[in-house]
Structure 1
Amino acid sequence: MGARRAPSADARQRDAERSRRLILEAALAEFAERGFAGARTSAIARRAGVNAQLISYYFDGKAGLYQELTRQGRQGSDRLADPDMPLDEVVAAFLRQNVAQREWARLLVWEALSPVGDDAEATAPAFFQDMIEGMRLRQERGELAPELDPAAVLVVLFAAAFAPVVLPQLTAAVTGHAPDSDEAADELAARLRPVIARLR
């Protein structure tokens, strides 16, 4: 038998990318279930099927892993909050996202219930200020009446978009569908459309 060959640089890169992806997927599930304080790196490693040391190697521990997830979640929010889309379509997109990928919404809820640390808290205000500024730009374009406070409108629409996750009983009562179903998201989006139109 010949000598065993070391994996190529490409193969090592693919393995690293796969390990990072598996860790991030496992971390999202663990943090969504238990919050930052309750999540354990050993449990994340078990879910991912990797050595726990890789979490420190790739993400510098649990806090770094959480920060990477937060960064990815905010990037996803930026994509959904497309300034060229009508506001009712943006809300509908967030509703569908929160139903299809409940873990991301639960992550944000846990962040409110158990703050992670100074780094995460320092970046949150800037993130939400950008969203408020986006609402102000919509107001300048005529999507919001001039007498409305863009920040208050953002709070109301955020609450509506998170209803299937944080108010599942109310969502089911209003829509007649299971709160984690596509039908619930579509029905709630349809009911919110005329409400959002009245904001003009």
Structure 2
Amino acid sequence: MRRSPDPEQRQRDPERSKQQLLDAAIAEFSAHGFRGARVSAIAARAGVNKQLISYYFGGKEGLYRAVADRWRAGEPAVTAPERPLAELVGAYAVAALEQPELLRLLVREGLEHDAGTPDQQEQFARFHVMLDDFRRRKVDGELAADLDPRYAALALFGLAAAPAVFPQIARALDLDVGNADFATEYAHQATTLVAHLAQG
């Protein structure tokens, strides 16, 4: 059963408190994974009482789902079906650079083989939709005939994610991920690269 916050907490802007908790959760989950993150640490980072996690999100699992929902909320603008594949990858690259901690959370799940995350079913369903889209794009000629859509989807996801996941490699290659123009230029380069994968 959810406990109500005390009167002082009820006077706060609930949306502000929720956003503070989501921001703190993204940082904690990306640093420690779902299992390793502690609600007390999330609440302390957010500057609120930890009972608000249960009150607003139903507990740690609900908070994790809310974090995943935040990432998905921006996907329709990126994944418009009419957008060419090359532009789609470029748009994902920009989105990853804008929200690196959300992407690192996904990477941490993979490194930990964290099959117990609350978002797993939704995540699998989302990637199956992406695979269906890649298969359609192959039929439409956006992928060469000798490319397997499964491998292409995995590789292109990695291409979009690379600067946010491996900023140290970017630096070693004399690229400044923190530069204001980097995201635009990387998206352009990724778009150009993927365009070469189309049927000749």
TM-score normalised by L of structure 1: 0.82
Task: Give the Cα separation in 2 of the matches to 1:23 and 1:116.
Answer: 24
In the other structure, the counterpart of 1:17 is 15
Counterparts in 2 of 1:88 and 1:172: CA distance versus 1, 3 Å = farther
Output the aligned Cα RMSD: 2.4
The answer to whether the Cα contact below 8 Å between 1:100 and 1:180 also exists between their aligned partners in 2 is: no
Deviation at 1:124, TM superposition (A): 2.4
Deviation at 1:23, TM superposition (A): 1.2
Rg larger for = 1
Q: Higher helix fraction: Structure 1 or Structure 2?
A: 1
The answer to whether the Cα contact below 8 Å between 1:99 and 1:180 also exists between their aligned partners in 2 is: no
- 1:29 is paired with a residue whose SS is helix
The answer to whether the Cα contact below 8 Å between 1:169 and 1:179 also exists between their aligned partners in 2 is: no
Q: Are 1:167 and 2:184 an aligned pair? A: no
Deviation at 1:54, TM superposition (A): 0.7
Deviation at 1:108, TM superposition (A): 0.9
The answer to whether the Cα contact below 8 Å between 1:30 and 1:39 also exists between their aligned partners in 2 is: yes
Counterparts in 2 of 1:25 and 1:116: CA distance versus 1, 3 Å = farther
| Counterpart selection for 1:83 from 81, 84, 93 | 81
- Give the length in aligned residue pairs: 189
- 1:146 is paired with a residue whose SS is coil
Instruction: State the one-letter code of the partner of 1:171.
Output: A
Indicate the structure whose relative CO is greater, using CA pairs within 8 Å and at least 6 residues apart: 2
Deviation at 1:14, TM superposition (A): 8.1
The answer to whether the Cα contact below 8 Å between 1:27 and 1:44 also exists between their aligned partners in 2 is: yes
Deviation at 1:140, TM superposition (A): 2.7
Task: Give the Cα separation in 1 of the matches to 2:37 and 2:109.
Answer: 13
Deviation at 1:102, TM superposition (A): 1.0
Of the structure 1 ranges 135-144 and 125-134, higher mean CA displacement relative to structure 2 is found in 135-144
- 1:72 is paired with a residue whose SS is helix
In structure 2, runs of 5+ residues without a counterpart are 1-6
* Counterpart mapping for 1:1-200 below 5 A: 15-114=13-112, 115=114, 117=116, 119-174=118-173, 176-200=174-198
Deviation at 1:36, TM superposition (A): 1.9
Counterparts in 2 of 1:15 and 1:133: CA distance versus 1, 3 Å = same
Identity level (%):
44
- 2:144 is paired with a residue whose SS is coil
